[in-house]
Amino acid sequence: LAASGLGYQRGGVGPAVQAQTGVDFGRGFARVRVNAQGLLSAGAVDSGRVAAALTVASQLFARHATVLEIQAGAQRGMPPGSEIDLGHGLGPRAFDAHAFTGNRAVWGTLEHRWFAVDEVIGLLGIGFAAFLDYGGAWYSDQPARLGGDVGFGLRLGATRATGANVGRFDLAYQFGDGWSGSRWIFSIGRSYAF
């Protein structure tokens, strides 16, 4: 509840709904996730956000995995600073933080991973990945800004860690909007968890 007596500018009810479902198909799975939240005030939607995602993963060969992830979202009436900002944990990985910001977004990646070595001197595993990313974010009163990259990279993960902390070292070629300078980018970050 958003009651004016509790300091809210506009009173109302703020429901939130999350749902997901999936299906297993032998050596892979598919999962759909939906998240919606908002503020209903005076019988109308004052502000809100909705997002949906599809993940399809397959492990047809031992030590290999292929993942397709597609996400889309929109928001309206949210306070400044809560825009969709691709580049902080999701989005085309070869672009700078804040390269794609707005209240509408779409993003997808296709990644193939090879788990080459499970453990090196009891400390880390080594893998490689090839990927294709495409997507962007923009404001509803602007044309869509979209960009992508294609590349390959090294994956290093601590085998004694308690969480998913795989590091990535990627070389990628950028295309589309949202870039300046060289189209070839070397980036370092955390590997995407799907």
- Residue 178's nearest CA partner among 86, 69, 90, 70 is 86
The CA distance from 86 to 71, in Å, is: 11
Q: CB neighbours (10 Å) of residue 12?
A: 20
The pLDDT of residue 180: 67
The pLDDT of residue 139: 93
Give the SS3 label for residue 5. helix
Mean pLDDT of 116-145: 92
The pLDDT of residue 46: 81
The pLDDT of residue 191: 80
Q: CB neighbours (10 Å) of residue 147?
A: 21
Give the SS3 label for residue 6. helix
The pLDDT of residue 178: 58
Q: What angle is formed at CA 145 by the lines to CA 36 and CA 102, rounded to 5 degrees?
A: 40
The pLDDT of residue 179: 63
Q: Each residue of 71-93: pLDDT tens digit? A: 999 998 877 788 888 876 677 88
State the amino acid at position 7 in one-letter form.
G
Q: Each residue of 19-48: pLDDT tens digit? A: 999 999 999 999 999 999 988 887 777 888
Give the SS3 label for residue 110. strand
- pTM value is 0.86
The sheet with strand 28-41 has its strands ordered as 16-24, 28-41, 44-58, 64-76, 104-120, 124-138, 147-158, 166-176, 184-190
Which run of H or of E encompasses 117? strand 104-120
The pLDDT of residue 22: 97
Q: Each residue of 134-161: pLDDT tens digit? A: 999 999 999 988 999 999 999 998 888 7
